[in-house]
């Protein structure tokens, strides 16, 4: 026969039922009626219940917010640069710039720099009709710029701009396909804007967002491509001739 003694740390009602089965040596203890083992929240009015629900919701919200913050921080930690790493990158960048400026560098610079033949800036008194073309890694921009002077002596301007997506197969083709696409886009722009009706030759400014060595104000040799663009047979050639031909 199993004897059960209640120790002082438990209430006198802690043992609700004791069953001893000597046959199979199985014993179970049930504490069904004791608040110590089966705590129940007793709220005597609706206001207290509402407060408990609000506290519960806020607790869960704070818990989830903490998890999100920790996850965001784990991602940001991979993007943060230490002061030593920033200084290392700064030194490397400065070294490449110095190499690019040397007449006879010990090795080619990652940032080749060439002379420019743009010796002065616009002063705001220019007049005329101009076209502009800018090819880069994003798209091709073609612009029409009209500058004129009013009777009152004020200088005005008008700008019309269109964007042309350059397909990947064009960016990674050959010089005939690539520069032919640029020329066709300019032709499309001129026709769409009705610029042929001006009855005069328009000057075209060409911005080439790839590496090239400028030889004069209107000519330059292509040195390298980049930004998802690769035209191998255009390297070493005069890109202005390839455009206007």
Q: What gap in Å lies between CA 189 and CA 178, rounded to an integer?
A: 17
* CA torsion through residues 63, 64, 67, 72, sign: negative
170-203 pLDDT per residue, tens: 888 898 898 889 989 999 999 999 888 888 888 8
H/E stretch holding 190 reads helix 175-193
Q: What confidence score (pLDDT) does residue 91 get? A: 94
In this prediction, residues 148-168 reach a mean pLDDT of 91
Which sequence spans correspond to the domains of the chain?
1-40, 128-244
Of 179, 193, 195, 180, nearest to 239 (Cα)?
Answer: 179
Q: Is the pLDDT of residue 94 over 90?
A: yes
pLDDT cut 70: percent of the chain above it:
79
What average pLDDT does the structure give for the chain? 80
238 close to 221: Cβ distance less than 8 angstroms = yes
More confident residue, 25 or 141: 141
pLDDT confidence of 205, banded at 50, 70, 90? confident
Other CB atoms within a 10 A radius of the CB of residue 177 amount to 14
Q: Is the pLDDT of residue 21 over 50?
A: no
Q: Is the pLDDT of residue 209 over 70?
A: yes
Q: Is the pLDDT of residue 25 over 50?
A: no
In this prediction, residues 81-93 reach a mean pLDDT of 91
Q: What confidence score (pLDDT) does residue 41 get? A: 59
214 close to 220: Cβ distance less than 8 angstroms = yes
Q: Is the pLDDT of residue 28 over 60?
A: no
- CATH superfamily to which 128-244 belongs: ATPase, nucleotide binding domain (3.30.420.40)
Q: What confidence score (pLDDT) does residue 36 get? A: 62
Q: Is the pLDDT of residue 84 over 80?
A: yes
């Amino acid at each position: 026969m199993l004897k059960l003694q209640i120790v002082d740390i438990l209430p006198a009602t802690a043992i609700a039922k004791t069953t001893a089965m000597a046959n199979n040596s199985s014993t179970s203890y049930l504490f069904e009626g004791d608040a110590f083992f089966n705590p129940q929240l007793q709220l005597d009015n609706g206001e207290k219940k509402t407060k408990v629900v609000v506290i519960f919701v806020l607790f869960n919200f704070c818990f989830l917010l903490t998890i999100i913050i920790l996850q965001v921080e784990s991602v940001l930690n991979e993007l943060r640069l230490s002061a030593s790493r920033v200084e290392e990158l700064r030194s490397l960048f400065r070294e490449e710039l110095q190499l690019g400026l040397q007449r006879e560098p010990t090795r080619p610079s990652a940032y080749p720099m060439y002379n420019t033949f743009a010796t002065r800036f616009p002063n705001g008194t220019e007049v005329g009709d101009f076209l502009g073309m800018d090819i880069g890694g994003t798209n091709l921009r073609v612009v029409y710029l009209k500058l004129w002077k009013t009777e009152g002596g004020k200088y005005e301007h008008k700008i019309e701009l269109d964007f042309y997506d350059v397909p990947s197969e064009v960016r990674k083709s050959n010089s005939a396909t690539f520069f032919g696409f640029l020329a066709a886009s300019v032709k499309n722009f001129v026709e769409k804007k009705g610029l042929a009706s001006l009855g005069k030759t328009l000057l075209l400014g060409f911005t080439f967002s790839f590496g090239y060595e400028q030889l004069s104000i209107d000519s330059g040799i292509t040195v390298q491509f980049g930004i998802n663009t690769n035209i191998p047979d255009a390297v070493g050639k005069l890109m202005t001739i390839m455009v206007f031909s």
